[in-house]
Amino acid sequence: MEKKIRVLVAKPGLDGHDRGAKIVARALRDSGMEVIYTGLHQTAEQIVEAAIQEDVDVIGLSLLSGAHMTLFPKVLNLLKENNAEDIKVMGGGIIPEEDAEKLREMGISKIFGPGTPTEKIVQYIQNSVE
């Protein structure tokens, strides 16, 4: 009746700040979504466990560290192990196109390059959760 989109936003890995993740989190909130923000230094296990408990539609990961080729597959595998493959996984950050291609093949829904306007991310999520 009043289905609200819920999105988990996390910043995995050990590197630096979460400015980008926070900007996206706020934009999603301002578009009417419920954003569960879990903060810095999240492991794949923590991300998937939180996504399950919070029953989110989408996991959005912000990555700068270059660990994307290990972290994303790990998240996807853990989701599978928990029968939660229906949760969509998206990522943002500096990811080379050939890696992005591989990640999409593995089942990552979307990779947003740096500087993607937040409206685009909002729109993409709205369309893909319908």
Partner 1 sequence: MKQLKAIIMEIVSKILSGDRRAVARLMSLVEDNQPNYTSALAELYPHTGEAHIIGITGPPGSGKSTLVDKLTLEFRKRGKTVGIIAVDPTSPFTGGALLGDRVRMSDIALDKGVFIRSMGTRGHLGGLSTKTNDLIKILDAFGKDIILVETVGTGQSEVEIVKTAHTTLIVEVPGLGDDIQTIKAGIFEIGDIFVVNKSDREGADNTFRELETMLDMNKSEGWKIPIVKTVATSGKGIIPLVDIIESHLQYMHETGKFQELKKQKIKDEFMGIVTDNINSYIRNRSSEDDIDALVEKIINYELDPYTAAERIMNSLKNTSN
Minimum separation from the CB atom of position 104 to partner 1 (A): 26
Examine residue 39 and tell whether it contacts partner 1 (CB under 8 A): yes
Question: Which one among 13, 21, 24, 25 touches partner 1, defined by CB under 8 A?
Answer: 25
Examine residue 49 and tell whether it contacts partner 1 (CB under 8 A): yes
Q: How far apart are CA 48 and CA 123, in angstroms?
A: 24
* DSSP H or E run through 128: helix 118-129
Task: Pick the stretch among 58-66, 79-87, 102-110, 111-119 that binds partner 1 (CB under 8 A).
Answer: 79-87
Q: How far apart are CA 83 and CA 63, in angstroms?
A: 25
* DSSP H or E run through 45: helix 44-53
Examine residue 31 and tell whether it contacts partner 1 (CB under 8 A): yes
Question: Which one among 16, 19, 23, 53 touches partner 1, defined by CB under 8 A?
Answer: 53
Q: Which chain residues interact with partner 1 by CB under 8 A?
A: 1-4, 6, 25-26, 28-39, 45-46, 49-50, 52-55, 82-84
